[in-house]
Structure 1
Amino acid sequence: MPYDRLSPQDSVFLHVEDDHQPLHVGALAYFEAGPLRDAEGRFDLERVRRRIASRLHLVPRFRKRIMTVPFDQGRPVWVDDEDFDLAYHVRLTAIPAPGSEAQVKLLMDRVQAQVLDRRRPLWELWFVDGVDDDRVALIQKTHHALVDGVSGIDVATVLLDLEPDTEDVEPPPWDPEPPPEASSLLVDSLVERASEPAELLRSARAALRVPRDVVERVGQVARTVVDLAHPTPSAPWNVPVTPHRRFEPARVELERAKALRRAASDRGHDLEGTTLNDVVLTACAGAMRAYLRGRGDDVAEDLVYRAMVPVSVRDVSEQMALGNRVSMMVADLPVGEPDPVERLRFVHAHMASRKEMGEAVGADTIMEATGYAPPTLLALGARLAVRTMPMNTVITNIPGPQVPLYCLGARMLEAFPYVCVVDGMAMIIAVISYDGRLEFGLSGDRSAMADLQDLATAVPDAFDELETALGLAAPPAGGRSRAAGGRRAKAGRGGRSAPGRRGAGGSGAQGTEATGT
């Protein structure tokens, strides 16, 4: 069969997307510029394209495009792009040297605001030359239907290396398969739709043979449904979005978060088992509180916002697999709580109870059930869910490699994740741990979050506040990070590297401590 059908979860991202609401994810990364230049000092774009071309066989869906089923009688399918043009997907632009990070962010805003062309594979890489401190920026965008956050780290690192000195390999020949005829795709889809209810019935009968599992599963789903129906106060960013975007990074040393986790666990039984994710969520709640107060808003002490926290349900056998294998948990954030330790205690207890109730499993079961819905109902349901979901924001925390990565010998200095905003959630926070840092990417609607910089600055300040409350010694001078400054000193090619294979194909590189839920 010359195609792969999108999963129900992947299809949702296509159904919800429109011109004012692009649904792709991505990143803003910075690299050393020197190794990426040719003998004349120019950015060597063709060499970069050759390297990417030599790795594309490892991510075959990056050469596939979307094909829809006639009359929307089935979920879309992935087919080989017979006119695949790598030059379209890997681009070079520049800002006047020495370009500032503010200029790079403006370009990032514009690139991420554009909807990906569905007639082509759904990804783009934009290299940006001319950045100060002899750096090159990379703006990445990949449609959410193609990749989720955790597998996205796997795919990105396939194109990078754990060591600075590597060579191109000869890729296997690629012979694209022609797409199916529209008529045969329609027939196949109708047959598949007719067989799905029977498959669902068989699954139900099999489940009834183990009634205890059925009861637990039903209970998990019921708790998830009740929880998702719970109302929540509105935040300033819970508004419709425009076609325009804003992006802000923030930086915090990973060791600071680990020290906070250890200090919290040492305080007593009520904080024992505090996780890095608890610390990150607490800092986000503290940043939101500071942001609201900075706006002059009245912040009641009982104010609690709700964040959707994506949870990967991808097992080890699915590492490097594309598509979405993500469920969700609901995190209550005590934004009104003035005491940062009480804020952490609330988050820790809340997240522990969510895990015990199996909320992520319940949400995953609900999503699986959409596979049996007619495509038109799935599309309508997806749009309705986005507009009515009682959430204030999304906070996604992705474990990344704790060793430096390289592209053609150029060290990746930083990488800030980008997650798309949607109607009703005009501000989203994504976090990735990379090479000793927690790197925050705050995305927002340009109109609704014109002051997004204030929220980004409040993130490292919230870590300062929690350190003081837990009695930790202040880090050495210059050790604290800020949203717009404080980036690490450039590391030369002699920086630490990990032994092992050529490609860093997996988010769990040697020495990595996962920061996810």
Structure 2
Amino acid sequence: MDHLTTLDAGFLEAEDSDPHISLAIGGVAVLDGPIPQFDRLTEVFAQRAARFPRLTQQLRLHPLDLAAPEWVPDNGFDITHHIRRAALPMPGDDDALHRLVADIMERRLDRDHPLWECWVIEGLGRRRWALLLRIHHCLVDGIAATHLLTALCDEAHHTDRRVVRVSEQSPPPGRPNPVTWLTGAINTVAGLGATAANAVRGVLDIAGGLLSPSASTLNGPMGAMRRYVSAEVPRADVERICAHFDVTVNDVALAAITDSYRSLLLGRGERLRRDSLRTLVPVSVRSDDAADRPDNRVSLMLPCLPVDESDPIRQLEAVHSRLNRVKTSGQRHAGSAVFAAAGLVPFPLSAWAVRAFTRLPQRGVVTLATNVPGPPEPLTVLGCRITKLLPIPPLALQLRTGIAILSYADRLAFGVLADYDAAPDVDVLARGIEGAVARLADLTTVPHRSTPLGTLALVP
């Protein structure tokens, strides 16, 4: 039997901890029409999905959590349970698409069947249509979900080239082995080795971040309804910013998110502090040769994004320095080590611990920002070109807003999912991201000098 890891099963526990959340992640592909016949799409997707056995398997749970949940064949598998169709009301604009996406994502997947759905969405204006793939987080992380989505496309079946590549934010090969770390810690009396000590510091940092209360209105109890909006920026602008300021794509994306949250929080009258936006940033620990494996291989970081800083250049520099500081603190390795250690204890004990943790009133982390590398070249489905590829993040643990970032062809897309009642101003985030990237791109044409503090300032 193929058992879920402690991390995979943890997403089930997190979903069970709150009746108002659905822990599915997803992506929306917007395609140029005309839309193929639905029966033809169903047939093709059934053939392509068959390459991934996990898509035809369902969960089997054990009473009292005496053993980890496992994946077993769904003997009554029927593709029509999973390929759905919907139509947008006139005029079929992007706002109508966003509302439908929110409606679909707020509903839980049926655990009596394989935990995924693909929605064929008709009626999008300008002779367009859309595909929405949603899949439970216990089955895949962002990179694996992107691989599944691209596997439904034509290119995955006409060439051997990879369409999903691991980006700069993935940790380098050869990360510390948590089992080795645990063994070394037990055997060390005089002190811990540098790597293990760093991981311990990371665990303490993460625990402190989770326990430190935030006064922000961005976290707290959630309702059952959702809002979804998206933003897109030219990849060329992001790359120009990276080259000019010597930062990464992840830095630019998080700086844009920081600036947009600053506008939203100021609009709500909140007092901005250094720790006002502690953010959960998942980090992939997936190797290149495991991109197509359906499971979760992530760790996490908890940086405080600098919403207290108003200058866009100083803001970008602060994001860059804070992320570097968090990376060296051991947080990235700590998450992997904790879940690896949990896998060494009997599952009933680890399941109890995860269940207790997910039911705590988490107040320290304010939002989620997850960055996933997408296909570098345009894709097609039955000859229809995908013009947009928009990510959908999960929401859980009292995080009322979440942002997913996905690169596709010449664009960088941001998908924002939020609690309906807690975030009526969520559109501020999408428009703020686009404005922040545009401002940074404009500033690449302005001379700068270094200050004694090591920051950048405009030349007067």
Q: What's the TM-score once normalised by structure 2's chain length?
A: 0.85
For 1:25, give the aligned amino acid: I
Hey, what does 1:12 align to over in structure 2?
A: 10
Hey, what does 2:323 align to over in structure 1?
A: 351
CA contact (8 A) 1:245 1:445 kept: yes
Give 3-state SS (helix, strand or coil) of 1:397's partner.
strand
Pairing partner for 2:398 from 424, 448, 473:
424
How big is each residue's C-alpha offset from its partner over 1:55-88, in whole Å with a ceiling of 9 and x where there is no partner? 2232110000000113320110000000001011
Hey, what does 1:188 align to over in structure 2?
A: none
- 1:196-275 mapped onto 2 (5 Å cutoff): 215-228=193-206, 229-230=208-209, 231=212, 233-265=214-246, 274-275=247-248
CA contact (8 A) 2:146 2:374 kept: yes
The alpha-carbon distance between structure 1 residues 383 and 71, as it changes in their structure 2 partners (threshold 3 A), is closer
Shift in Å, 1:141: 1.0
Hey, what does 1:330 align to over in structure 2?
A: 302
2:267 matches 1:294? yes
Hey, what does 1:25 align to over in structure 2?
A: 25
How big is each residue's C-alpha offset from its partner over 1:122-142, in whole Å with a ceiling of 9 and x where there is no partner? 000111111101011122210
Q: Could you tell me how far apart the structure 1 residues matched to 2:179 and 2:377 are?
A: 48
CA contact (8 A) 1:221 1:366 kept: no
Shift in Å, 1:89: 0.1
Hey, what does 2:175 align to over in structure 1?
A: none
2:344 matches 1:372? yes
For 1:353, give the aligned amino acid: R
Hey, what does 2:84 align to over in structure 1?
A: 91
The alpha-carbon distance between structure 1 residues 444 and 126, as it changes in their structure 2 partners (threshold 3 A), is same
Hey, what does 1:437 align to over in structure 2?
A: 411
Q: How many residues align?
A: 422
Give 3-state SS (helix, strand or coil) of 2:155's partner.
coil
- 1:90-489 mapped onto 2 (5 Å cutoff): 90-162=83-155, 215-228=193-206, 229-230=208-209, 231=212, 233-265=214-246, 274-300=247-273, 302=274, 304-386=276-358, 387-388=361-362, 390-471=364-445
Q: Provide the alpha-carbon RMSD of the alignment.
A: 2.6
Shift in Å, 1:212: 12
Q: What's the TM-score once normalised by structure 1's chain length?
A: 0.76
The alpha-carbon distance between structure 1 residues 262 and 147, as it changes in their structure 2 partners (threshold 3 A), is same
For 1:225, give the aligned amino acid: V
How big is each residue's C-alpha offset from its partner over 1:379-427, in whole Å with a ceiling of 9 and x where there is no partner? 4433443433621111001111121011111111111111121242100
Shift in Å, 1:247: 0.6
Q: Which consecutive unaligned segments of at least 5 residues does structure 1 have?
A: 38-43, 168-199, 266-273, 474-517
Pairing partner for 2:39 from 39, 46, 58:
46
How big is each residue's C-alpha offset from its partner over 1:140-169, in whole Å with a ceiling of 9 and x where there is no partner? 210000100011111111111338x969xx
Q: Which consecutive unaligned segments of at least 5 residues does structure 2 have?
A: 160-177, 448-460
The alpha-carbon distance between structure 1 residues 129 and 345, as it changes in their structure 2 partners (threshold 3 A), is same
Hey, what does 1:488 align to over in structure 2?
A: none
How big is each residue's C-alpha offset from its partner over 1:463-500, in whole Å with a ceiling of 9 and x where there is no partner? 13333444459xxxxxxxxxxxxxxxxxxxxxxxxxxx
Give 3-state SS (helix, strand or coil) of 1:12's partner.
helix
For 1:152, give the aligned amino acid: A
Q: Could you tell me how far apart the structure 1 residues matched to 2:364 and 2:101 are?
A: 29
CA contact (8 A) 1:160 1:406 kept: yes
Give 3-state SS (helix, strand or coil) of 1:432's partner.
strand
Shift in Å, 1:455: 1.8
CA contact (8 A) 1:341 1:470 kept: no
Structure label with greater radius of gyration: 1
For 2:4, give the aligned amino acid: L
The alpha-carbon distance between structure 1 residues 71 and 50, as it changes in their structure 2 partners (threshold 3 A), is same
Q: Could you tell me how far apart the structure 1 residues matched to 2:200 and 2:184 are?
A: 20
2:63 matches 1:66? no
Shift in Å, 1:98: 3.9
Shift in Å, 1:232: 5.4
